[in-house]
Structures are given as structure tokens and as C-alpha cells.
Structure 1
Amino acid sequence: MESPTHFTLKQVAESIRKTIAERYSRTYWVTAEMHKLNQTRKGHCYPELVQKEDESIVVEMRGTIWKQHFERIQQKFFEIVKEPIHDGMELLFHVKITYHPIYNLGLEIIDIDPNYTLGALQRERQETLERLNKEGILNANQNLEMALLPKRLAIISQADSKGYSDFVTLLNGHPKRYHFNTFLFEATLQGDAAITSIQNQLKRIETIKHHFDAVVIIRGGGGEIGMHCYNNYELAKAIATFPLPVLTGIGHSTNLTVCEMIAFRNGITPSDMAYFLLSIFEELDAPLDEILIRLPKQIQHFMQGMTNQFGQLTRHFQQEVQSALQAEKNGFLNTVKDFEFRVKHKMTHSNQVLSELRNKIRSSSNYLFDNQKGKLDNHINLLQIHGKSVVNVNRQSIHNQENQLVRVLPRVFESETVKLEQAERHLKLLDPITVLQRGYAIVTNEKGVLSDKNKAMKGDDLKIVTEAQELRAKTDQTINR
């Protein structure tokens, strides 16, 4: 049996190469995603080109970019797109289809159209904006209310970033030394890695959001290099729906990214954002400066007005006090006159009683004397009638009676005289001047002289009159007896 016709593997590979070379003799423009660039140390690149559907790779091919082509492509791409070629980009490749016996089918990349990439970035930007608008969160962060003095700031940046350094220096270097509390949350700020890095830091800040007034994302310099990440939908959504105002100062971009557009406030540079925050303090501080200028004059005017008013009140008070004193003095004089009148009336009555007593004493004495004298005359007559014997018998009795009468009358007169003197002393003691000389005082309140019917109450103003002086007092405590 004869052997079938056969070919070597090399012959087959050569046949495939010739067929492909003849069939695909010209170049083509092909769109694909640069899954991995795979640049070697010699400068050649062997990128993995893929096409995805629903995030799944449906086609994958090997690519080749020789060093001399790559340097030219990279320079041109950077000049237009403002960032280098990197993994994950969707690109428009100018390719030649090749077949290699060892490396199999591949695409030799001759050029890359940077305008297509720039357009793709713009499409991503527009798609993100439309999606946020459709979900109703495009202006969500801008509708938040900023704190009156946003001084507690959560900063998302890199510690060694010049933008971060400039931002903090400006905040703390104001002549009025406004005080800001800043806390740094370090993150990657450019390229695809920035998307996840910034989102993670936003999640950290959200857990302690009560400690902050706003979030500041700052990135210094770099033009538009790596700025495509700020058009990413997930990152833009995280900023738009963040519960605190988000402020951005992420570089010298001529075209605003989505994150800048939907942020509460954006600045071209970190310095612009620092000046914005300082302007809030300056705006609130300006009226205080104006007040400090006007305050001395207003205080002087107020003090002058108060001095004039105080002078008027003082004069009015003096007049009121003098009027009150005069009224009290008149009341006291009336009280003294009334007291003197009552004393005089009492003394007059006492003198009348004393006179009546004197008259009674005289009448009683005369009656007693006349009675005794009549008895004596009777005895004399009886003696005369009965004779000398009776006279002699009764003489001694009469003599005794006369002696008794002599003794009784002085005692009666003396007793009545003592009573009279006591009455005179009593009247003298009732004299107000005598009472005051003995250490007593006349105490009055606004109702008159204190008595059982007019008792002093706590807090009453009292007037105390002694022999030597007139005193004023205020009742601190009262004790009922």
C-alpha cells in the first residue's frame, strides 16, 4: 500500500504564510482594547489585543510594535492625547496581518490614531454625564449645603504632592491665621488605579463624615496626563452621591472632567481651591473689620448718651429724694405736733383730775375738821351741862382725840401730797423730750408710728428719731412677740 501524500509542518506553515501574505497584502485600520502593552527592555512591545462583549473577551490576538515605530507613535500620541499609551485603552490601530511559523498569526502595528482615542475619552465623558443625568444625581453634590465655616477638611491627595503642599501652606499662611483642621487620606490620583483608590478613601471618610465639613481632592500639575480616570462613571457617581460637599483641584485641564463638573466646587489648581476656602473666611471676617473700625466711635457715642441719661436720672433722683425727705420731714413734724397735742391734752386732763383731788381733799379735811369741831362743841356743851366733873372726866378723852386728829391730818395731807407728786412725775415722764432723753426712740414707717396695729414688716424703710439725731434703717428680720 502506497503512502499518502504528506507535507512537513514547515511546508504547511510556509503555505499559510504565503496565502495570508497574498490575501492580506495591504494594511488595515482595526479597533481593539490594549489589554496589556508588554514593553520589553529593548523597547519593543508585544501587546495583547482583545475585543470584549459584556465584559467578556471574545477575541484575542498578539500584536507587535517594533521599537522604531513605538517611539514615534508614543510621542505623537502624547502630544495629542496628553497622556502616554497604557493598558486598558481602546485604540484605533493601523496594522499589517502577519503569520510567523513560531509565533503564529499576529498583527504588526504600524501606527495608532490618537484622535480616535481622544474621541473615545470624550465619548466616555459624555456617556458618564448622560448616565448621571438619567439617574437624577448629576447635581446631587452641588445641591448640598456647605458649612458656614468649612474648616474641617478631609483631603484626598498624596503626601509628597506639590499640590497638597501648596494647598496646606496657603491655608495656614494667611495673615489672619485662620484655623483649618486637615486630615490627609492618601490615594493614587492619576490613571486607572486612581478610580479604585479615590473611591476607597471616600468610603473611609463616609464612615466618619461627622468629623468633617467637606472633602477636598487635590492633584498638582501634570496637565491632562492620566485625567481620563475622572470621567469614569463609578468614580463620578461616588462623588455626586457623597453626603459631604466635594471640592476638586486636580490640575491644569482645559476641558473639565466629569468629576470636576459634578463636584460641589472645582478649581483649576489646589491653590485656587485654597483661595476659595480662604475667601469664605475673609467674606465673613470683612464685616467684623468694619465693625472694629466703627465700634470705638459707636461706643463713645453710646457712652456719651448714657452719661447724659445718667446725669438726667441722677438729677431726677435727687429731686425725688429731696421731695421724699421733705414729705417725710413734714409727716414727722405733723406726728410730733400731734404727739405734743395729745400729751398736752393728757396733762390738762391730769391737772383737772389733780385739782379735783385737791378740792376733795380740802373738802374732806374741812368736813372732818368741822365734824370733829362739832363733836368737840357738843362735848363742851355736855361738859358745861353735866358740870365740871364730866369735863374733867372727858378732858383726857378729848385731849386724846385732839392728839389723834393732829396725827391723822398730817398723814392724810402727806399721803395726798405724795399722790399728787406721783401724778406730776408721771406726767413729766410722758413728755416726748423726757422719753427721748431716757434712751427711747420714736420709730415710724411709711404708715406712721409703729404700734400693735402698725407693725414693721421685713424690707420696710424705718425712720428712728432719738434725742440727738434722726436715723434711717431697713427691716432685715421681724420677730412677733
Structure 2
Amino acid sequence: MAQHTLTLYELNELVRETIEVSMPDEYWVEAELSEVNDRGHCYMELVQKDESSKTPIARARAICWKARWMYVRAHFESVTGQSLHAGLKVLLKVKATFHEAFGFSYNISDIDPTFTLGDMARKRQEIIRQLQEEGVFELQKELAIPLFAQRIAVISSETAAGYGDFCNQLDNNEYGLVFHPTLFPAIMQGEQVEQSVISALNAINERLDDYDVVVIIRGGGATADMSGFDTLSLAENVANFPLPIITGIGHERDESVLDMVSNTRVKTPTAAAAFLVDHLSRVYMRIMEAQEALLSLVGRRMEYERMRLSRLSEKIPALFRLFRTRQELRLDGLMRDFASRVQGKLESQRWQLSAREVAINALVGRLMEAKRQQIRLLEEKLRLMDPQLMLKRGYSITLYEGCAVKDADSLKSGYEIETRVANGTIKSIIK
């Protein structure tokens, strides 16, 4: 048995004195947070992992006392835009302490936010590089927002002020345009952001035909706890989503990876609503301009056709007269030509045809009579086709706006029509 024994308290006191003497200074230490418990004082579990196997090779407890923690937390969050959470790499200024009752821990006096920013930037660049290697980083940019983007799937916290602002902006737009937003609730800050937003995307994916575009919004509150939007899994889900995604997650500092892979990034929920209103209003203006151009074109075409029909109706009598004159002249010419040829033939071959003279004269007479009969028939047909004669027989022509009426169903009550008869014109009102 040892000649001298120590109580546990005495041994712990000796350890405390040894640490105080041998390690009187503060040290800057790099570590990863495995647990963070903010209870006024902030209690942390620190860990260091093997680079290749990612298994822990060192662990320690650390504490930042309330009076110091208020300043350290505010400074860290204002610089990095997020709160301390598990998985974050930090650079801590610590002093080794040992308490007889509570054991060993590190007392934290400061945290360097620039170190964490560098680690965050490195992780972000690694995610971007992996997305680019997979060929999905720009996939959302290749999707076109539909012209009539009115059916909107919204991923947001149901109680967030930003969601209410978004809906109010859509409902009260100055153009009176109608939108149909549907909320898919999700947790929009903290460690559950990634899985919650992915679950909402999966729910939308089951009803793709019901929506034109997806909007992910997060408004109001501090800009802390944004790390959930900088994850590889969420970025892959957004990049590969078949509908255009608009993000407005309400932070000014830097684009998150989610913003980078989305189709369109705006700053706030109200800006997302304004973007959709502006997009649809531009489509509406294009439709109105096309409508005006079409109406103008149709009006000009109708006026042209109306004038053309009026000119044709004026030309019909003259065309009949011209046709009759041309036919008479043609028949006269045929008769003269025929007579000339017969006479020439008779004169040149009279000595050969003397025996047939009687037969030829008879034949010529029959032919002449036949031609005359044809002429008389043509004259009679032309006479019967004369519109004026049709009017004298008791027929009439009904016109509306200068055009002949062929279908009674085309006339409506109140139309003024004109009826032409042989000796004048009658105007009537349809009842």
C-alpha cells in the first residue's frame, strides 16, 4: 500500500494548480462544434476529426460565460450571417481550466468569425464544384418561366410575415391580375431547413401539372441560421426540379447555394411577388397590343373587301353589255369570213362546181339559216340575262350596305335594306 494517499478533491486540486501554473495563457484553437447549447451561458462540445476517416481523434468541453457570450454571439452572427450550430468549424480563443467538482473544460473568451467565413466559403465552393461536375448547376436557368405563371407553389413557413406579404402583394397588384398560390409549409431556419424544404419539393413534384412555378421564400427576422440553404442535397433537389424555382429568402449578404442554382433569385418575398406580377403584366400588355393590331388589320381588310365588292357590283351591267357586243362582233366577223371564203372558193373553182351549184346554194342557205337561228338564240339568252329585264318582269334585288342579300338569316332587326325594282328603289327597316 502507498505510504501517502490523496483524496479525490486533493488530486483534482493538484491538477487544477498544475494547469494554472503550466498553462497560464489563452490559446487560439481550431475545432468543429459537435453540440451547442445556449442556456444563457453557452455550452459547447468540441471535436477534431481525422481528415481521411472523419472519425473523432480529440474531444473537449468548452463554455462561454453569459457576460462574454452576449458580445461574442452578436459579433459572430453579424459577420457570418448565421448562428453557431453543430457541424460548424470555428477558431476559438480559450483558456484551459479545471474545477475540482466539474472537471476539465475550456473557457472561451472570443470566436474569430473570419475563420468560419473562410470554412463556409470553402464548403460552398466545394458544393458548387460538385454540382458543376454533375452538370446540374445551370439546369434551372435553362427552364423558361411560363407566359401565364399564375398557379404558384409556395414553400415557406405558414406563420412567417414574409408569406403574408407575398400573398398581399399578389392579391393587390395594380393590374388586377389573378394568381393562385398554394402553400407547402416548411421550416425555414435552423438545422431542419434542408429536409423540410426537400419534403415540400417532393410534395409539389407529385402534383407537377397543377403548378407553373415554385417560390421559396423566407422573410423577416435576423439573417442568422442561413446555413440550411447551403447544402449539397438541397441544391441538387432544386437544380433537378422540373419547374422553374424563384428564391426570395430575405438576406442581403451573399447568395446562398440555393440562390445560385435556382432559376431566378430575388431579395425578399415581396420582390418575388413583384417579379411574378411584372412577368404576367408584360404578357398581358403583349396580348393587348396584338389584339389592337389584329383589330386594325381586320378593319382595313373588311374596308378593302367592301370597296372591291362595290366596284364589282357597278361593273356587272357594263360587263354584260361588253360581252354582248363582243359576241355580235365575233359572229359578224365569222359570217364575213365564211362568206368571203365561200365566194373565193366559188370564183376559183366555178368551172368545177357548176354541176353542184344548186346543191351548194341549198347547203349555204341551210347553213346561213342555222347561224341566224344561233344568233337569235344567243340574242334571246342575252336579253333574258339583262338585269333590267328581270326587274321589269316583277323580280327585285335586295341590297344591304351595297351588297346583294342572299341569306335572310344574315339580316338582323334594325338593319336598313334597299330593294330595287323596275321603276325605282324601296328602302325598308327589318323588324
Alignment TM-score > 0.5, same fold? yes
Partners of 2:92 and 2:143 lie apart in 1 by 45
Q: Are the structure 2 counterparts of residues 325 and 175 from structure 1 closer, same or farther at C-alpha, using a change threshold of 3 Å?
A: farther
Please say if 1:191 is aligned against 2:215. Answer: no
Is contact 1:17-1:98 (8 Å) kept? yes
Partners of 1:296 and 1:210 lie apart in 2 by 34
Aligned to 2:37: 38
Is contact 2:247-2:266 (8 Å) kept? yes
The offset of 1:260, in angstroms, is 0.6
The offset of 1:187, in angstroms, is 0.7
> What amino acid is aligned across from residue 67 of structure 2 in structure 1?
Q
Stretches of structure 2 that go unaligned for 5 or more consecutive residues are 326-377, 381-392, 396-431
Partners of 1:291 and 1:185 lie apart in 2 by 37
Q: Are the structure 2 counterparts of residues 111 and 320 from structure 1 closer, same or farther at C-alpha, using a change threshold of 3 Å?
A: same
TM-score (norm 1): 0.62
Q: Deviations over 1:402-435 (max 9, x none)?
A: xxxxxxxxxxxxxxxxxxxxxxxxxxxxxxxxxx
Partners of 1:208 and 1:51 lie apart in 2 by 44
The offset of 1:90, in angstroms, is 2.1
Partners of 1:313 and 1:78 lie apart in 2 by 85
Please say if 1:15 is aligned against 2:14. Answer: yes
The offset of 1:295, in angstroms, is 5.5
Q: Deviations over 1:45-99 (max 9, x none)?
A: 3222223445544433222221111122122223322333344432211111122
The offset of 1:32, in angstroms, is 2.0
Aligned to 1:51: 48
Is contact 1:218-1:269 (8 Å) kept? yes
- Partner SS state of residue 39, structure 1: strand
Q: Quick check: which has more Rg, 1 or 2?
A: 1
Aligned to 1:258: 257
Aligned to 1:66: 65
Is contact 2:175-2:281 (8 Å) kept? no
Partners of 2:135 and 2:188 lie apart in 1 by 27
Partners of 1:301 and 1:115 lie apart in 2 by 70
Please say if 1:227 is aligned against 2:226. Answer: yes
Partners of 1:302 and 1:65 lie apart in 2 by 84
- Partner SS state of residue 82, structure 2: coil
Q: Are the structure 2 counterparts of residues 311 and 120 from structure 1 closer, same or farther at C-alpha, using a change threshold of 3 Å?
A: same
Aligned to 2:113: 114
Q: Deviations over 1:283-341 (max 9, x none)?
A: 22223333455556545433322221121232345566889999xxxxxxxxxxxxxxx
Please say if 1:208 is aligned against 2:210. Answer: no
Aligned to 1:103: 102
Q: Deviations over 1:228-275 (max 9, x none)?
A: 222211111111111221111111323111111111111112222223
Q: Are the structure 2 counterparts of residues 172 and 94 from structure 1 closer, same or farther at C-alpha, using a change threshold of 3 Å?
A: same
Is contact 1:222-1:252 (8 Å) kept? no
Is contact 1:223-1:253 (8 Å) kept? no
Q: Are the structure 2 counterparts of residues 177 and 31 from structure 1 closer, same or farther at C-alpha, using a change threshold of 3 Å?
A: same
> What amino acid is aligned across from residue 62 of structure 2 in structure 1?
G
Is contact 1:63-1:107 (8 Å) kept? yes
Partners of 1:91 and 1:304 lie apart in 2 by 80
Please say if 1:285 is aligned against 2:272. Answer: no
Is contact 2:154-2:184 (8 Å) kept? yes
Partners of 2:136 and 2:264 lie apart in 1 by 16
- Partner SS state of residue 47, structure 1: strand
Partners of 1:296 and 1:242 lie apart in 2 by 41
> What amino acid is aligned across from residue 142 of structure 2 in structure 1?
N
> What amino acid is aligned across from residue 270 of structure 2 in structure 1?
S
Q: Equivalences for 1:31-180 in 2 at 5 Å? A: 31-40=30-39, 43-53=40-50, 54=53, 56-180=55-179
Q: Equivalences for 1:73-472 in 2 at 5 Å? A: 73-222=72-221, 224-294=223-293, 297-317=296-316
The offset of 1:184, in angstroms, is 0.7
Partners of 2:324 and 2:286 lie apart in 1 by 52
Q: Are the structure 2 counterparts of residues 17 and 236 from structure 1 closer, same or farther at C-alpha, using a change threshold of 3 Å?
A: same
> What amino acid is aligned across from residue 81 of structure 1 in structure 2?
T
Partners of 1:311 and 1:56 lie apart in 2 by 95
Partners of 2:160 and 2:37 lie apart in 1 by 29
Is contact 1:223-1:251 (8 Å) kept? no
- Partner SS state of residue 38, structure 1: strand
- Partner SS state of residue 235, structure 1: helix
- Partner SS state of residue 147, structure 1: coil
Is contact 2:81-2:253 (8 Å) kept? no
Q: Which has the higher contact order (CA 8 A, sep 6+)?
A: 2
- Partner SS state of residue 95, structure 1: strand
The offset of 1:34, in angstroms, is 2.6
> What amino acid is aligned across from residue 269 of structure 1 in structure 2?
T
Q: Deviations over 1:370-425 (max 9, x none)?
A: xxxxxxxxxxxxxxxxxxxxxxxxxxxxxxxxxxxxxxxxxxxxxxxxxxxxxxxx
The offset of 1:163, in angstroms, is 2.1
Aligned to 2:371: none
The offset of 1:164, in angstroms, is 1.9
Q: Are the structure 2 counterparts of residues 77 and 281 from structure 1 closer, same or farther at C-alpha, using a change threshold of 3 Å?
A: same
- Partner SS state of residue 142, structure 1: helix
Q: Are the structure 2 counterparts of residues 70 and 8 from structure 1 closer, same or farther at C-alpha, using a change threshold of 3 Å?
A: same
The offset of 1:186, in angstroms, is 0.8
Comparing 279-288 with 305-314, which one deviates more in the overlay?
279-288
Partners of 1:140 and 1:287 lie apart in 2 by 28
Partners of 2:116 and 2:83 lie apart in 1 by 11
Q: Are the structure 2 counterparts of residues 164 and 190 from structure 1 closer, same or farther at C-alpha, using a change threshold of 3 Å?
A: same
Paired residues in the alignment total: 333
Comparing 126-135 with 274-283, which one deviates more in the overlay?
274-283
> What amino acid is aligned across from residue 36 of structure 1 in structure 2?
E
